Structure 1
Amino acid sequence: MDRLNSKLYLQNCYIMKENERLRKKAQLLNQENQALLSELKQKLSKGNPKGKSSNNNIPDLNLGSSSNQNHANTSSN
């Protein structure tokens, strides 16, 4: 029984470490996406000198990310 518990404990440690690695990677990708989106919005606004905003067609990437991050944080508990 102790051997099984030890094996399960090690598997759990590995899973938690992998989850943390993936969480950090997801945060970096989200930051990169936000920077690219900002750059795209700037380029679109410069290409539209008459004041017409075409940024309304670009989705806000933060809308879904906050719920995903909250879900990721609660799933580790």
Structure 2
Amino acid sequence: MERLNSNLYFQNCYIMKENERLRKKAQLLNQENQALLSELKQKLSKGNPIPNAGSNTIPDLHLSSSTKTNPSSSSN
């Protein structure tokens, strides 16, 4: 029983370290995302158009994935 408790304790420690690592990574990604969003807002406020913004065609993102799916499964 004591050995099981030790194993669970070490697993718990590993999970807590991994959670902390992932939390820090998520924090960095969030900061990067906020910086990119701020940059985009600045560009838009200066009147710089978004590439392809003048185009009236919107690409259908479902076209590429629909050819790979099984038609019988999508008919549900």
List aligned pairs for 1:44-55, cutoff 5 A. Answer: 44-47=44-47
Instruction: Give the Cα–Cα distance (whole angstroms) in 1 for the partners of residues 27 and 6 of structure 2.
Output: 32
- 1:15 aligned onto 2:18: no
**Identity between Structure 1 and Structure 2 (%):** 94
How far apart are 1:29 and its partner, in Å?
Answer: 0.2
Two-structure CA RMSD over aligned residues (Å):
0.9
User: Which residue of structure 1 aligns with residue 31 of structure 2?
Assistant: 31
TM-score computed with the length of structure 2 as normaliser: 0.62
Q: In structure 2, the residue corresponding to 1:47 is in which secondary structure?
A: coil
TM-score computed with the length of structure 1 as normaliser: 0.61
- Greater helix proportion: 1
4+ long deviations beyond 2 Å? none
For residues 43-76 of structure 1, the C-alpha deviation after alignment (integer angstroms, 9 at most, x for no partner) is: 000017xxxxxxxxxxxxxxxxxxxxxxxxxxxx
Instruction: Give the Cα–Cα distance (whole angstroms) in 2 for the partners of residues 22 and 47 of structure 1.
Output: 37
Unaligned segments of structure 1, at least 5 residues: 49-77
Instruction: Give the Cα–Cα distance (whole angstroms) in 2 for the partners of residues 29 and 47 of structure 1.
Output: 27
Aligned residues: 48
How far apart are 1:30 and its partner, in Å?
Answer: 0.2
